[in-house]
Structure formats: C-alpha cells, structure tokens
Amino acid sequence: MCTWDLRYNLFITTTFERRASAKLSSWLKKVRDTDERLDWMLPHIFDELHLKKNGGALTLGPEVFKKTHVRKKENESNPDVWVEKRDERTFIATMSAQIAQLTSALAKLEQRRVAEQQSLSETV
C-alpha cells in the first residue's frame, strides 16, 4: 500500500490526473491513427464508442453523444433533458446532416439501379 502525508494529497492527485490524461490522450491518438483496437481496450467498449476518423478528430457515435449530454431522468414526463441547449442543437444538426447524406446516397443508388435496369431491358 502506498501512503503519503495529507499535505501532499492535492499535488499528488493533480500530478496523477495530468499524467493519466496525457497517457490516455496518447493511447486514443494511437487508436485514431491506426484505426485498430489496442490490446487493452475491450472489444465491446471499442464498438460502443464507434471510434472512427473524421477529419483527423476522434468522434463518438450519436447514441454515445446523446447519452453523455442528456441528464438522468429527473422528470418522468420528459426523459430527454439536455445538459445545455447547444448540445441538443449540435445533436440535431449532426443527425440532420447524416440524414441528408444518407438520403442523397440512397437517391444516387436508386438512379443507378434504374439506369442499370433500363440498360438490361434494352439489351433483351
């Protein structure tokens, strides 16, 4: 067991937190750069975080973002109480952008499918 004088507690705690934060940032940078799960990271944690590259920044999936920015159920009638309004706006904007991207991709796929179907019917 490790013990120290109480007067050093604040110094030791802040030093530990600073160094641990730097180390964790370094590990997550390695995950971001290689896009592979490190040995120390449990597979389900890696999957839950949806770690992925996005313009060089580590991003979280929408579900995790919402889970971390919505307060616990304080009022049964309204389970989605956001910590800050801007968090809710960010979430809505991100989801809207993703929906627009998916809609656009689906429209392109549908056009491609129709064009292929027409070219097949012309050859028959």
* Each residue's pLDDT tens digit, 73-103: 555 566 666 667 777 788 788 888 888 888 8
d(CA 82, CA 69): 6
Q: Which is more confidently placed, 48 or 11?
A: 11
pTM of model > 0.75: no
What is the predicted pLDDT for the residue at 56? 47
- CB-CB neighbours of 48 under 10 Å: 14
For the chain, what is the radius of gyration of the CA atoms?
Answer: 23
Mean model confidence pLDDT for the chain: 75
Residue 52 to residue 61: CA distance in whole angstroms: 9
**Averaged pLDDT, 6-33:** 84
The domain ranges of the chain are: 1-59, 61-124
Flag whether pLDDT at 109 surpasses 80: yes
Write the pLDDT tens digit of every residue in 26-74.
887 777 677 777 788 877 767 666 545 555 455 556 666 666 666 655 5
pLDDT of 2 above 80: no
